[in-house]
Homo-oligomer: A and B are copies of this chain.
Amino acid sequence: MLDRLPSWREGDAKGAILAFVDGVTASGSVAFVPPAARIAVFDNDGTLWCERPTYPQAYFLLERLHAQAVEDPELAARPVVRALLQGDLRAAMAGGLEPLADVLLKTHAGFTAEEFAAATLEWFGRAVHPRFGVSFRSLAYRPMLELIDLLRSATFRVFVVTGGGVEFVRAVSQALYGIPPDDVVGTSVELGVERRDGRMVLVRQAALRGHPNEGEPKPVNIQAHIGLRPIFAAGNSAGDREMLEYCSTGPLPSLAIVIDHDDAEREYAYPGASFTDPHAEPILESAAALGWTVVSMRRDWDAVFDG
């Protein structure tokens, strides 16, 4: 029989995934779920693609901040900007998230939605990961792409639910994951309506629209965007806790999985902390308490990257 997850080694994680998909699709089974309710959600950073040494979006924003700092000595002199441009994230966050967010939200304020998409694509076309020396587009996890394909073949609808900027991820979600822009849920900025040369354009403002899409906002935004409770969810950090809990405590059969980054050799080894809440419970403790399936990158995956 064809191996439906060829990059996954035989083991508990692969077994749990295949058993879940087989149950959901077996009409007459107690685990059967009607196709309309087959909703799957995936975190992005650290779940679908590599987020170390830092988020791809951080490199994108820092490049633009650097260009702005060259033009604007006042901006360059601000401690948070100096720390960021020296790559010292700890120092940049010393004053809390707000001064950091203020600087980063201003990097692309004034861009239209279409200009921002073009700038993102242009960056993805040439930026290279500092350790692996390849395009960030090559750093999607092959086992997770196989998992998305498996779920789609079982008529799941598959969504990305990311703490990252929704427009940044949308620029490449179709090419990387086969997921169209409207099936990406993420952190958004406010948009202003303007007319330029007789055309209506939507212009990025230097302000978030609502909260960053981490923690409790993930299930809330899932309901706001999708309107149904997912029966499959995948994450890797404490910022995914509420999304996984929302999935795993619903009335239908469900599967929640956590990617454990325990592979310093092929990728990175680090605990799944929350970016916005340093005191959040480690995700592996939540997984143990709530019965989620833990995927060891080192033991469960035969290959890591797709590129």
Chain B proximity mask over A203-220: 1 for CB below 8 Å, otherwise 0? 000000110000010011
Contact of A36 among B114, B180, B225 (CB under 8 A): B180
CA distance in complex: A219, B192 (Å): 10
Residues of B within 8 A of A170 (CB): 227
Chain A interface residue count, CB cutoff 8 Å, equals 39
Residues of B within 8 A of A166 (CB): 224, 227
CA distance in complex: A36, B166 (Å): 18
Asked if A181 contacts B227 (CB within 8 A), the reply is yes
Known A-B contacts A188-B224, A224-B209; A180 and B200 likewise in contact (beta carbons under 8 Å):
no
A45 near B: Cβ within 8 Å?
no
A50 near B: Cβ within 8 Å?
no
* Total copies of the chain: 2
Known A-B contacts A180-B36, A225-B225, A226-B181; A219 and B242 likewise in contact (beta carbons under 8 Å):
no
A167 near B: Cβ within 8 Å?
yes
Known A-B contacts A181-B228, A202-B223; A36 and B242 likewise in contact (beta carbons under 8 Å):
no
Residues of B within 8 A of A220 (CB): 191, 193, 202
Asked if A224 contacts B191 (CB within 8 A), the reply is yes
Residues of B within 8 A of A14 (CB): none
A262 near B: Cβ within 8 Å?
no
CA distance in complex: A113, B226 (Å): 12
Of the stretches A56-64, A129-137, A245-253, A271-279, the one at the interface is A245-253
Residues of B within 8 A of A167 (CB): 227
- Can you name 9 extra interface pairs (CB under 8 A) apart from A113-B223, A114-B251, A181-B228? A182-B225, A184-B227, A193-B219, A198-B249, A199-B249, A200-B246, A202-B219, A209-B210, A209-B224
